[in-house]
Structure 1
Amino acid sequence: MTLRLKEVGIGLSLLALSFLLLIWLIPEGVPQPTRLREGQLSPRFWPLISTSILLMSGLVLTALAWLEKGQGIASEAEDGDEPLPPIQALIGLVVGCVLLAGYFWAMARVGMVVASSLGILLLGYAYGERRWRVLIPVAFLLPIVLYLFFVYVAGIPIPDPIARTVFRAIF
């Protein structure tokens, strides 16, 4: 199978999944209150936003793969890379599950911002990211920026006593 056909298949699968979410799963599975307070987001807001992003990604991937010129070129993985042995894949899955369980445990004890920073750092390193100039700023800045956005811009409270204390002292 050529890379182009794989990309078209993945794009069409993303489109099918996003249509399933938009037409059936979100309307049936996410309750919509009849009245919302001023400034309150609907429970369907973020599922609809993320599904819309998924839909656009599927459209772009399908269109780019369909319009690609080199139609019969095999991917690099097909040329010479060996597939990941099943035991390594299983070890990677177990490591990811253990790290996510640790993240969940840490979030209740040190708050979302600190736990997310450590989680991004450990998961990134566990899955092969060795560029520390990329990993460290992303691991520490992303949770802080997201916390500040949701609490101070979107007005959505995030229960994190450590971050709340630190940012109230700064702002």
Structure 2
Amino acid sequence: MASHIGKLPVTIPAGVEVTIDGQNFAAKGAKGSDSYVLPEGITAVVEGNEIILTPADDLRPTRAKHGLSRSIIASMVKGVHDGFEKHLLIVGTGYRAVMKGKGIEFSLGYSHTITVNPPEGITFELPNANEVVVKGTDKQVVGQVAANIRKLRAPEPYKGKGIKYADERILRKAGKAGK
């Protein structure tokens, strides 16, 4: 029995070039290129403008990775075509970010500033001093870089100060109760 997710075909949008060489899968599009090595026993075939993944019937561990492989390939195709981005908000008096070359320098209430340089394939944008946008073609790397930036000063529950995702809701706690 194959994965319900793995059975779904991945649609290839216009402008994306896909190559499959044995277990090596590569996608190239307007935003960049990416590659992935399929697990042993899973085969990928391009039929028309769709990618279809099929597992070997005799290998149970392979069937377990069927849906995962399909999700990774779908994310790769979307990434090279549209790209991924994460929006972060900086909340707090005096907390801000400024561009330093390709990196970002954060002032987060510490005695020093913190500089974050982007890994390869990632770009930063600062629409204003309190907003950071992390962009790239690899969904996992974009999410990890955004999580690392958020970790520099995670939002605290009393005033909500810190770095948070744009769509994140911080649960607030009541402060001290006065008499």
- State the TM bucket, normalised to the shorter chain: under 0.3
In the superposition, the TM-score normalised over structure 2's length comes to 0.25
> As a proportion of its length, which structure holds more helix?
1
Q: Report which structure shows greater RCO (CA 8 Å, sep ≥6).
A: 1
> As a proportion of its length, which structure holds more strand?
2
In the superposition, the TM-score normalised over structure 1's length comes to 0.26
